[in-house]
Structure 1
């Protein structure tokens, strides 16, 4: 107990010293600012955990003919006390960047925001183009940078694969800052976040350019839709997708993994790293993000969760319902395995769990979190033995 307290105090001291220069931003990626989005923004603003807001301003489709502006609230956006970065997403499949047309539209939206009193500190381009497209992208960024007022900096997001391009250094030289995406970039089926890969990419980019950068970190989950041959059909995250698929897989960024990664950044930050940007702002009702309490705890290096408590609820017909309870204020990873102390021949799983009668256990089929003070039914069993007990394994 004393040792755990000393360890937490040690890491808290490191975090406090590093956080003087280490910034934590967040993406507001919701296309429409509902009352839940506004409430989440106001809660985060009051807590002073976020240093900068990266706000989705709109999206260009692959042929650049269609632009979808985000429906932001101009009664709330100008009142945010932290800097606002306008983010424009360009479909990565767009091959021909019509610089004049794109810049005209970006300028129109920027001036609209400014006419409503929004102080725009920077403009960020999110364009996940193929590595071979970087010379074309660099030319567009040079045009865009020259069109911006002197008090607005130009930022971009960057993909790890771009490090293989001979154009990467000159590309990064065009911008004031960039955000390196280290989540869901290699193969979504392998998980949303690999801390060892993220560390490697961050170190490599720190040697490619002296341009300041941040890391985009995940606090969300995704549903992967694929066919029977394993071909990826779609990824559902912040927006529901009306598509059918033969196979689906749920992925979730784990708070404990991100906590450990942040500690490593605090103790040994790569050169030129300025901070992290979280994707995305947790909003009430968004079941694919961490809870707000969990997100803040990870940012503060306070995340600590007691394992989930299995419970067997008996019924008059002899059936037992298997329930997981979360006694914590924070989200907890669903256990990989729930083992019974006796064999039961009859049973069935539910909510991403499968019953294995031969091994007297319930196994998790999909990643996920259980929010604080919530419970989840994962199946039922009927057994001849009384006094059944369970234990969870991660």
Structure 2
């Protein structure tokens, strides 16, 4: 009897511990250098699922110098979520002029406050080589002393730093860290590896006693044709260069599974996940916000591609639909049965093979249909099209 009572108490205690474990915080990076009207809708639709916005504020590169992101302070103020100003200092900078860079950061914070924004932290994104970590730690110590004591300071960190004896000293200079586990290896090997990311997260947890976050990808890039030098990638901005591109896209299903693993058994000190980046409606290499929100929530993912036809006076508009919550590749082939089809044509991205009773649309190049999205693929003038006789071949 005593054993049963003890076992029951242990089960109750275990259940309480699981119930008391805090959920992983979900945050977003806003990385566009120039804001557009599309930000308003994206901010509004993301508010319920992401607690904090980490906003690109300033960038410094070796050849182009320092530039400020053109944020929309009105939108951020109306949004009301905590804001963290992210300062991007390229790793190829020969050195960090601590006084000059600190002055620029303080000016950004002052300008934000003048626009009615109240930053809740500063994040420094500097992909320094391990040999330069002592100098980087010195810079961070100087910056920490210049910032208000109430303003938290964090850094974007790289898995390569795990092998450095300087890492503990570096982490002592900041309040928290953000371990980036995407786009940290040769892009020819891919954008992201979930198993490796989990290993890095567990190793990072052993290296710090302070809160840390994982920066996870919700986007894709294109690998440009190999010219024998270092690999080049194309992201939001198109690169003026010909040749076949190899698209690399973070897999939502893979990230969803990683999120479940981290929620079920989080490494010590893991405070949350930060998704890169807030997707805009016209962002061709980012997940849709519908998919991103579903992954962040841990929802079951699925796309349900279908065809919709609408007729007026014998003219049919043909549309591909994705009512699911998972972005989907354009299907390779779509067939429709009908009668008396006199003329028809495909729209950009597809070709058409026509018979009097069958229309076959064949994909010409890759593309993605966002979750909840629609795309017109063609038209036809027929006596009748049987929508129930349509077939979508992935």
Common fold by TM > 0.5: yes
Q: Quick one: which of 246, 249, 252 aligns to 2:249?
A: 252
**In structure 1, what is the equivalent of residue 261 of structure 2?**
264
Equivalent position SS for 1:331: coil
Could you list the per-position Cα deviations for residues 260-292 of structure 1 after superposition, in whole angstroms to 9, with x for gaps in the alignment?
Answer: 110000111111100000000111111111111
Give the alignment of 1:96-111 within 5 angstroms: 96-111=95-110
How far residue 247 of structure 1 moved from its aligned partner, in angstroms, is 4.2
Contact 1:250 1:366 survives alignment (8 Å): no
**In structure 1, what is the equivalent of residue 51 of structure 2?**
51
Equivalent position SS for 1:271: coil
Could you list the per-position Cα deviations for residues 276-326 of structure 1 after superposition, in whole angstroms to 9, with x for gaps in the alignment?
Answer: 000001111111111111111111111421454699xxxxxxxxxxx9945
Name the CA shift for 1:351/1:371 in 2 (closer, same or farther; >3 Å). Answer: farther
- Aligned pair 1:235/2:233, yes or no? yes
**In structure 1, what is the equivalent of residue 184 of structure 2?**
185
Contact 2:334 2:390 survives alignment (8 Å): no
Name the CA shift for 1:388/1:18 in 2 (closer, same or farther; >3 Å). Answer: same
How far residue 241 of structure 1 moved from its aligned partner, in angstroms, is 3.2
Equivalent position SS for 2:287: coil
CA distance in structure 1 between the partners assigned to 2:203 and 2:210 by the alignment: 13
Name the CA shift for 1:364/1:90 in 2 (closer, same or farther; >3 Å). Answer: farther
- Aligned pair 1:301/2:298, yes or no? yes
Equivalent position SS for 2:232: strand
Give the alignment of 1:121-140 within 5 angstroms: 121-140=120-139
TM-score if structure 1 supplies the norm length? 0.77
How far residue 113 of structure 1 moved from its aligned partner, in angstroms, is 0.6
Give the alignment of 1:139-154 within 5 angstroms: 139-154=138-153
Name the CA shift for 1:324/1:129 in 2 (closer, same or farther; >3 Å). Answer: farther
Name the CA shift for 1:75/1:324 in 2 (closer, same or farther; >3 Å). Answer: closer
**In structure 1, what is the equivalent of residue 326 of structure 2?**
331
Structure 1's consecutive aligned runs of 4 or more residues displaced over 6 angstroms after TM superposition are 335-340, 362-367, 387-390
How far residue 159 of structure 1 moved from its aligned partner, in angstroms, is 0.8
CA distance in structure 1 between the partners assigned to 2:20 and 2:219 by the alignment: 25
Name the CA shift for 1:299/1:227 in 2 (closer, same or farther; >3 Å). Answer: same
Name the CA shift for 1:210/1:30 in 2 (closer, same or farther; >3 Å). Answer: same
Contact 1:226 1:248 survives alignment (8 Å): yes
Name the CA shift for 1:291/1:303 in 2 (closer, same or farther; >3 Å). Answer: farther
How far residue 367 of structure 1 moved from its aligned partner, in angstroms, is 8.5
CA distance in structure 2 between the partners assigned to 1:149 and 1:241 by the alignment: 40
Name the CA shift for 1:352/1:245 in 2 (closer, same or farther; >3 Å). Answer: farther
TM-score if structure 2 supplies the norm length? 0.77
Equivalent position SS for 1:105: helix
CA distance in structure 2 between the partners assigned to 1:168 and 1:226 by the alignment: 36
Contact 1:249 1:366 survives alignment (8 Å): no
**In structure 2, what is the equivalent of residue 315 of structure 1?**
none
CA distance in structure 2 between the partners assigned to 1:388 and 1:299 by the alignment: 34
- Aligned pair 1:280/2:277, yes or no? yes
- Larger of the two Rg values belongs to structure: 2
Contact 2:187 2:231 survives alignment (8 Å): no
CA distance in structure 2 between the partners assigned to 1:369 and 1:18 by the alignment: 39
Question: What stretches of structure 2 of length at least 5 have no aligned partner?
Answer: 1-14, 309-317, 336-347, 352-361, 378-388
CA RMSD, 1 decimal: 3.5
